[in-house]
Chain A
Amino acid sequence: MKFTMYPGVWDNVVAEVEEAGHEFVSDLHQAEFLIYAGGRLPDPLPESVGFVQFVFSGIDRLLDAGVIRPGVRWANAAGVYGRPVAEIALTLLLSQLHHVKAATLASSFSARGPIDAAQGWLIDGGTVAIIGAGGIADALIPMLRPFGVKVIAVNRSGRPVEGADETYPQSEAGHVWEEADAFILAAPLTEETSGMVDAGVLARMKRSAVVVNVGRGELIVTDDLVAALRDGEIAGAAMDVTDPEPLPDGHPLWRLPNCTITPHIAATGRIAQQMVAPQVIANAAAFEAGERMPTEVDITLGY
C-alpha cells in the first residue's frame, strides 16, 4: 500500500514499513494510509486514505478535538509500549515506596530515621492492583512476580488476565480499593474512567496505600489527591501523567514529598519511533486482507 507520514517523517519507521512491501509517498492525496503523530489534519481526509494509524495509544484528546471522526478507520498503538510503560510504572512504584523524592529533597542523612520508618517494601508480599489491565499489565505482571506480591487485575470485561491471581470487571471491582496496597492506573481515559480515583475512592484505600498513574492524568481527581496526600489518607502517589498536563510549575503536588512526578516520559516520541513500525505493518496487513485491524479504534468505546 502507499502511505505517508504526518506531521514529521520518521525515517526509520518509513524504512521498516517499506521493507514490509509498502511504498512511501509524500503526497497525502496518493496515500492509502497515513501514519499520524498528532496535530491538525486536513478535513475531510482525501478519499484515498483508508485508515489512519496513530502512533500513540491514548486517543481521548483526538476524540475530544474532533480529529477522529466517523468516516475513516483509525488504529492506535495500544499495547505496543507495554514494556517501557511497565518499566516506568515499576520505577515509580519502587521510588515512591522507598521515598526517593523525600531523600532527594532532604539531601541529608538526617532523613534516614523518617525514611526508615515510612518506607514500604514490595518484597513484604502485599497486593498490587492493576486498574485497566491490558498491554501494560501483560508486561508489568512478570516484573512484579519475583517480589512475591499478589496481583489483582481489573479490566472492562473481567476476562482473566494471564499471570494475575484474580481478575475483576470494572463494574465489580469496588472492593479492590480496600484490599490492595498499591494501585497501578493504566486505563484509557473514557467517560467511565474519568475521575475514577476521587475523594470517595481515596478514603476507601488503606492509609499505607500507594497510587501510581501511568494511564491518563484525568483518571485521578487532582484536588482530591492533593488533600488525601496532605492529610495522610494514603501514603503516597507517583505519576507520569497529570491533570492538568503539563502540571503547572508551582502546583502543590510538586512540593509534596510523598508525591513523585515524572513529566510524561514513558511512551515518548523517541520510544514510539523505535517501537511502532511492527504494529503499523500488522495493521496494514489486516486492512489489506479486509479484516479488523489488531489495534483498530472503536470510536463508540473511546479506545
Chain B
Amino acid sequence: MKFTMLPTVWDETVAELEAAGHEFVEDLAQARGLVFNAGPEKLPDPVPENIEVIQLPFAGVEPFNDAGLLAADGPRWANGAGLYADTVAESALSLLLAQLHLLKTAVTSASFDSADTIDAHKQWLFEDKTVAIIGAGGIGVRLLELLAPHRVSTIAVNRSGRPVTGADRTVAIDDAAMDEVWATADYFVLIMPLTDQTRHMVNAEVLGKMKSTAVVVNVGRGPLIHTDDLLAALRDGTIAGAALDVTDPEPLPDDHPLWGLDNCLITPHVANTPSMVRALTGQQAVRNFDAFEAGETMPAEVDGKAGY
C-alpha cells in the first residue's frame, strides 16, 4: 500500500513500513495510508479522499476526537494503543511500589532519621492487598502479569465489564458496583483513555469514598484526576498517597504544591516518551496497515464513536 508521513518524516518508521512491503510516496495525493505525527491543527483540511487510513503514534487521541475528526465520515484511524503495554505496566508497578515504601520521604529527608516514620507509614504489597486497575486494556493485562507473583487480589475495571484475563474480578465502569470498588480496593492504577466520561473521574467525591490508606497511581492521562481535589485529599489525609507519571496541567509548573507533598511521587511523563514512540511507531503502522489491506479491523483501530 502507498503511504506517506506528515508533518515530520521519521526515517525509521518509513524503513519498517517499506521492509514490510508498503511503498513510501512524497505526494499526499498518491497515498492511501498516512502516518501523522502532530496535532489535529496540522492535519490537511479536508483530508483528501484518497487517504483511507491514518496511523497516529500515541495512544491518546482526544485532541482528534475533540476536533470532531474521529467520528466524521472519512478515513479510518489507528493509534498507538497496546504499543506501550510493557513500559507503562513496568512504570505503573514501579510508581506503586515506590509510593508504598515512601521513597520520596526517604529522598527528601536524606537521613536515617526518617526510618521510624517510614516504617510506621509504609505499606506492603505482600500483605493481602487489593489492586484495582481502572481502564484495563492491553497495559492492564500486562500489569496483572507483573502483579501476579505478589499475590494481590485484582479488580479490572473496563468499559464493557467483559472479564479481563488475569484479573480476579472485572467490573464495568458504569456499574453500580463501582461504589464498592472505590471503597474497598487498597490501590488504584489509572490507565484509561481520556474522554468526556473519564475526565475528572477521580474527584473529591470518589476520593472521599476511598480508604484513608488508599494509594492512587496515574499512568493514563493527567485530567483523569481533578488535581485540586487530589491536592486537598493528600493534604488532609483522605487518602494516603499518589504517584503520578502524568499530571494536569502538564507539564506541572515547577511551583505547583504537589511537588512539595511527601506523599505524592511525581515522574515527568517518562512511562512512554517521544523517543520510545519514535522507535515503535513503524511496527505498529505495519500491523495496522496490513490488517487494513486485508479488510480486517485493525489491531489498534480507534472507535470513532467512543473516542478512543
A residues contacting B by CB (< 8 A) are 83-84, 87-88, 90-91, 94-95, 97-101, 103-112, 115-117, 119, 121-123, 142-143, 145-147, 245-247, 249, 254-255, 260-265, 268-270
CA of A247 to CA of B149 in the docked complex: distance in angstroms? 33
In chain A, what residue has the closest Cβ to B111? A249
Given A104-B103, A109-B251, A265-B122, A146 and B148 contact (CB-CB distance below 8 Å): yes
CA of A261 to CA of B118 in the docked complex: distance in angstroms? 13
Q: Does B275 make an interface contact (CB < 8 A)?
A: yes
By the criterion CB–CB under 8 Å, are A263 and B98 in contact?
no
By the criterion CB–CB under 8 Å, are B150 and A95 in contact?
no
Q: List 21 A-B contacts (CB under 8 A).
A: A91-B97, A94-B90, A94-B93, A94-B94, A94-B97, A100-B104, A104-B103, A109-B250, A116-B276, A117-B275, A123-B90, A145-B149, A146-B145, A146-B149, A147-B90, A247-B112, A254-B110, A263-B114, A265-B115, A268-B119, A269-B119
When each residue 243-256 of chain B gets 1 if its CB lies under 8 Å from chain A and 0 otherwise, what string results?
A: 00000001110100
In chain A, what residue has the closest Cβ to B250? A109
CA of A109 to CA of B268 in the docked complex: distance in angstroms? 5
Distance (whole angstroms) from the CB of B199 to the closest CB of chain A: 21
Given A95-B103, A100-B94, A122-B90, A143 and B251 contact (CB-CB distance below 8 Å): no
Given A103-B268, A104-B104, A115-B270, A123 and B87 contact (CB-CB distance below 8 Å): yes
By the criterion CB–CB under 8 Å, are A108 and B254 in contact?
yes
Q: Does B106 make an interface contact (CB < 8 A)?
A: yes
Point out which of B125, B126, B268 has the most chain A C-beta atoms below 10 A from its C-beta: B268
By the criterion CB–CB under 8 Å, are A143 and B149 in contact?
yes
When each residue 88-125 of chain B gets 1 if its CB lies under 8 Å from chain A and 0 otherwise, what string results?
A: 01110111011011011011101111110011101011
B residues contacting A by CB (< 8 A) are 86-87, 89-91, 93-95, 97-98, 100-101, 103-104, 106-108, 110-115, 118-120, 122, 124-126, 145-146, 148-150, 250-252, 254, 259, 265-270, 273-276
Residues of A within 8 A of B252 (CB): 109
Distance (whole angstroms) from the CB of B119 to the closest CB of chain A: 5
Q: Which 3 A-B pairs have the closest CB atoms?
A: A109-B251, A246-B112, A94-B94
Residues of A within 8 A of B118 (CB): 262-263, 265
Residues of B within 8 A of A142 (CB): 149
Residues of B within 8 A of A111 (CB): 268
In chain A, what residue has the closest Cβ to B270? A115
By the criterion CB–CB under 8 Å, are A245 and B112 in contact?
yes
Distance (whole angstroms) from the CB of A98 to the closest CB of chain B: 5
A-B contact count (CB 8 A): 146
Residues of A within 8 A of B90 (CB): 94, 98, 121-123, 147
Residues of A within 8 A of B95 (CB): 100
By the criterion CB–CB under 8 Å, are B110 and A249 in contact?
yes
Given A121-B90, A262-B101, A104 and B250 contact (CB-CB distance below 8 Å): no
Distance (whole angstroms) from the CB of A164 to the closest CB of chain B: 15
In chain A, what residue has the closest Cβ to B89? A123
By the criterion CB–CB under 8 Å, are B251 and A107 in contact?
no
A interface: dominant SS: helix
By the criterion CB–CB under 8 Å, are A95 and B268 in contact?
no
In chain A, what residue has the closest Cβ to B259? A107
Residues of B within 8 A of A103 (CB): 266-268, 270
By the criterion CB–CB under 8 Å, are A98 and B270 in contact?
yes
CA of A270 to CA of B118 in the docked complex: distance in angstroms? 11
**20 more CB-based (< 8 A) A-B contacts, given A87-B97, A103-B267, A112-B269:** A87-B150, A88-B101, A91-B97, A91-B100, A91-B103, A100-B103, A100-B104, A105-B107, A109-B251, A110-B268, A115-B267, A115-B270, A123-B89, A142-B149, A143-B150, A249-B111, A260-B103, A262-B103, A262-B118, A265-B122
Residues of A within 8 A of B86 (CB): 121, 123
Distance (whole angstroms) from the CB of B94 to the closest CB of chain A: 4
Instruction: Return the contact of A116 from the options B100, B145, B270 (Cβ within 8 A).
Output: B270
Residues of B within 8 A of A87 (CB): 97, 101, 124-126, 150
Residues of B within 8 A of A121 (CB): 86-87, 90
By the criterion CB–CB under 8 Å, are A147 and B146 in contact?
yes
Instruction: Return the contact of B97 from the options A95, A146, A254 (Cβ within 8 A).
Output: A95
By the criterion CB–CB under 8 Å, are B149 and A100 in contact?
no
CA of A90 to CA of B251 in the docked complex: distance in angstroms? 29
Residues of B within 8 A of A101 (CB): 103, 107
Residues of B within 8 A of A91 (CB): 97-98, 100-101, 103
By the criterion CB–CB under 8 Å, are B270 and A119 in contact?
yes
Given A91-B101, A94-B93, A101-B107, A263 and B150 contact (CB-CB distance below 8 Å): no
Residues of B within 8 A of A83 (CB): 126
CA of A98 to CA of B95 in the docked complex: distance in angstroms? 9
By the criterion CB–CB under 8 Å, are B115 and A264 in contact?
yes
By the criterion CB–CB under 8 Å, are A270 and B119 in contact?
yes
CA of A109 to CA of B259 in the docked complex: distance in angstroms? 11
In chain B, what residue has the closest Cβ to A268? B119
CA of A99 to CA of B108 in the docked complex: distance in angstroms? 14
Residues of B within 8 A of A119 (CB): 270
Instruction: Return the contact of B94 from the options A95, A109, A117, A249 (Cβ within 8 A).
Output: A95
By the criterion CB–CB under 8 Å, are A104 and B265 in contact?
yes
By the criterion CB–CB under 8 Å, are A90 and B250 in contact?
no
